[in-house]
Amino acid sequence: MQQSNGYIIGFAVAMTVILGGLLSFTAVSLKPRQQHEIELDTKKQILASVGITGEDKMKLSNLFDEKVEAVVVNAAGEQVDYSGNVLKLNVQKEWKKKNAAEKLLPVYKVKGDDGKVSSYIFPVYGYGLWNEIWGYVALEADLNTVKGVVFDHKGETPGLGARIASEQIQDRYVGKKIKDNSDLKGVVMLKGEGNANVDDYHVDGMSGATLTANGLNKMVVNYMELYKSYMSKAKGTAAVLN
Amino acid sequence: MSTETAEVKKSEALLSKRRKGIITDPLDDNNPVTVQVLGICSALAVTSKLEPTLVMSISVMFVVVFSNLIISLLRNAIPQRIRIIVQLGIVASLVIIVDQVLKAYLYDVSKIVGVYVGLIITNCIVMGRLEAFAMGNKPYDSILDGFGSSFGYAWVILVVAFFRELLGNGTLFDFQVMPDAFPKVGLMTSPVGAFIIIGLLIWVQRWRNGYVEAE
């Protein structure tokens, strides 16, 4: 059966309209629910960087609301008025801004049991070998010792670069120092695995994933540099309060 | 237009022998993965753990069954010259709906299977069934065919995932079942492990059924 061109075009148009409408309806009606999930996941990741993990997302979310205060600062270390939800601040977009002074940098302050800030969490963002990588670096109240990190990635090689998302790699950062007096040393991952006598400013590397590690190092150091002014100011105020 | 089955008599039972055949054939003799070797890419990629594999199986089932149904309902209205585009449009829409629902209700799983859910569009099983079956058969038979093919796909990838998770992580559905002393086989967590297990499965099944590839 051979149909006329008019019928074929009509069929195609009708199909496009129906399917398009159906898809837009699905996307719009599920959007609030998806954004809620993304926010919960962000909270979960942030808490994981200070070692708080769990399966119950709502519980984690409540804990987050109770313990964590989110502020936005700029590269000069000054607090910026930010009216929106800090969790939804797009770290990727801020990173791509050419002018460092314009970048909005979120800081998550975790309150300890004594009411003082017990740790600071800084989001980081960069590029691995194949695609984006991101994560959170948590520092102790001294703003020097690493309390914990979480990293995630979009498309690093499974079994090699993708290991940055594993606890095995992330645990290596715990207790490391980012500064030697006031010199920023970052925490730098070494090349190769099984290095002996790794000092306080380095962590052991991932065998076969040097390029991902390079990206990771760049990301961590870049962001520690961006947050440097904030850190020295925050440390200053803490000293005054004490 | 291809027709795999004979014309149906008016008073055929709901689950006649022929219809049972539509469901059971793809489970064994005509399995889409081990015999027709279709859908291998996702079988390799999502099978490192049972949970994402199960979600993937259900997603594929949803897409195959509903696209079979819709195409079968429209089979006399679809213009022959653009039928592939029409099929793709419907499959793609169903896949996007699955992807959106997963993102909204099973966010953690969707982070793992997300890319591969999108790739269901290119899963040869889906298009294969539409072209070979739904375009020439009635809606009810097409639904049965969709279930048959997707079960055939599901059991194979679930078996693969079972062995990969058990040997690679010592767990099943993330519950530890092997003792701590069990030496985990790292190879099984990478796609290479899936290749080996699928290869073994194909071998065992073809040996059992005496299947020989046509020259």
The pLDDT tens digits of the residues spanning A52-90 come to 877 778 888 888 888 888 888 888 878 888 877 888 788
B103 or B6, which is more confident?
A: B103
Strands A132-140 and A146-153, how do they pair? antiparallel
What pLDDT band is residue A241 in, cutting at 50, 70 and 90?
very low
What's the pLDDT score for residue A23? 95
> Which of A104, A109, A111 is closest to A82 using CA atoms?
A104
Q: Which of A2, A30, A154 is the mutation pick for testing B, counting most B CBs within 10 A?
A: A30
> Of B22, B70, A12, which is closest to residue A4 (Cα–Cα)?
A12
Average pLDDT, chain A: 84
Residues paired with residue A66 on neighbouring β-strands, in sequence order: none
Alpha-carbon Rg for chain A, nearest whole angstrom, is 22
Strands A188-189 and A202-203: parallel
Measured CA to CA, the distance from residue A162 to residue A216 in angstroms comes to 11
Tens of pLDDT, residue by residue over B47-69, are 888 888 898 899 999 999 999 99
Asked if the Cβ–Cβ distance from A37 to B81 is below 8 Å, we say no
Nearest Cβ partner of A30 from B79, B86, B104?
B104
Q: Do A30 and B189 touch (CB under 8 A)?
A: no
Report the alpha-carbon distance of residue A200 to residue A213 in Å, rounded: 17
Which of A103-112, A167-176, B179-188 has the weakest average pLDDT? B179-188
Q: A237 to chain B, minimum CA–CA distance in Å? A: 40
Choose the mutation target among B49, B73, B86 for the interface with A, i.e. most A CBs under 10 Å.
B86
3 state DSSP class of A50:
coil
Tokens for A174, please give them.
Answer: 């715990």
Q: Report residue B4's pLDDT band, with 50, 70 and 90 as the boundaries.
A: low
Environment class of B207 (CB within 10 Å of its CB; exposed 0-12, middle 13-18, buried 19+):
exposed
Q: How far apart are the C-alpha atoms of A216 and A212, rounded to whole Å?
A: 6
- Residue showing tokens 């080996």: B196
Task: Report pLDDT digits (tens) over A155-176.
Answer: 787 778 888 888 888 888 888 8
Residue A237, chain B, CB below 8 Å: the answer is no
**Between B83-105 and A5-49, two packed helices, what is the crossing angle to 10 degrees?**
20
**Is the pLDDT reported for residue B164 higher than 70?**
yes
Q: Are A206 and A156 in contact (CB under 8 A)?
A: no
Separation between Cα atoms, residue A171 and residue A145, nearest integer Å: 13
What would you report as the CA-atom Rg of chain B, rounded to the nearest whole angstrom?
Answer: 18
Q: Is A2 on the interface with B (CB under 8 A)?
A: yes
Instruction: Compute the nearest-CA separation of A20 from chain B (Å).
Output: 8
ipTM over cut 0.90: no
Residues of A in contact with B79 (CB under 8 A): 3, 7-8, 11
Position B70 pLDDT exceeds 90: yes
Please state whether A138 falls in left (phi above 0), alpha (psi between -120 and 50) or beta: beta
What does the pLDDT look like over A17-55, one tens digit per residue?
999 999 999 999 999 999 888 888 888 888 888 878 777
- Counting every residue written for chain B, the total comes to 215
Please tell me which of the candidates A2, A34, A159 has its beta carbon nearest to residue B104: A34
Residue B9 binned pLDDT confidence (cut-offs 50, 70, 90): low
How far is A230 from A224, CA to CA, in rounded Å? Answer: 10
- As given in the structure block, the two tokens for residue B16 are 């006649």
Q: Are A46 and A64 in contact (CB under 8 A)?
A: yes
Scanning the structure block, which residue is given the tokens 């375009």? B135
Determine, for residues B85 and A12 on separate chains, whether the beta-carbon distance falls below 8 Å: yes
Cβ separation of B105 and A33 shorter than 8 Å?
A: yes
* pLDDT reported for residue B95: 93
In sequence order, what E strands does chain A have? 68-73, 79-80, 105-111, 117-127, 132-140, 146-153, 179-180, 183-184, 188-189, 202-203
Would you state the structure tokens that stand for residue A177, as one six-digit string? Answer: 């120092």
**What φ, ψ does residue B66 adopt, rounded to 5°?**
-70, -35
Q: What percent of chain A has pLDDT over 70?
A: 96
A223 token code pair: 């962001």
d(CA A94, CA A104): 6
pTM: 0.76
